[in-house]
Amino acid sequence: MLGELAALRMDLSRQQQELSALNETRSSYWDWLSGLGKNGASALTVKSAEEYAELLSERIGEKRIEIQETEQKIEEKLREVIEASKERKAMERLRENRFEEHKRTAEREELMFLDDLASVRAARQRS
């Protein structure tokens, strides 16, 4: 379970790096695109460049959604880990309680045996 959580966190980190790279690419591309208009590029070149910039924006939006989904998976996995930890601690407490009860029972039985033994010895000595 912890391995799954670690894998999700690594995946999230990778996705965030990809988003950062996409944002940098889009920013650089918009800078380059604004220079195209000043240099008298053809309408077709400008249109193609704008379409690519829009495609980058779409990819950024998709990556953000992917990151949100991964963050939700991480939150869910964290809840599972916390719940499993609580259950494990409860089981440990139960085992400890059972062990303590077993010790008390064994001590009582030993005391009863010793009492019986002492009673038998006392009865023998009287006879």
Domain presence at residue 74:
yes
Domain presence at residue 109:
no
Task: Give the model confidence (pLDDT) of 27-62 as tens digits.
Answer: 888 888 777 666 677 778 878 888 888 899 999 999
Check residues 49 and 13 and name the one with the higher pLDDT: 13
**DSSP character string of the chain:** -HHHHHHHHHHHHHHHHHHHHHHHHHHHHHHHHHHHHHTT--HHHHHHHHHHHHHHHHHHHHHHHHHHHHHHHHHHHHHHHHHHHHHHHHHHHHHHHHHHHHHHHHHHHHHHHHHHHHHHHHHHHH-
Domain presence at residue 107:
no
Whole-structure pTM over 0.85, yes or no? no
Tell me which residue has tokens 């980058």.
Answer: 56
The pLDDT value recorded for residue 59 is 96
Nearest-angstrom CA–CA distance, 100 and 115: 22
| Number of domains making up the chain | 1
- The residue-averaged pLDDT of 107-119 equals 90
- The domain in which residue 61 lies consists of 2-93
The pLDDT value recorded for residue 4 is 92
Domain presence at residue 100:
no
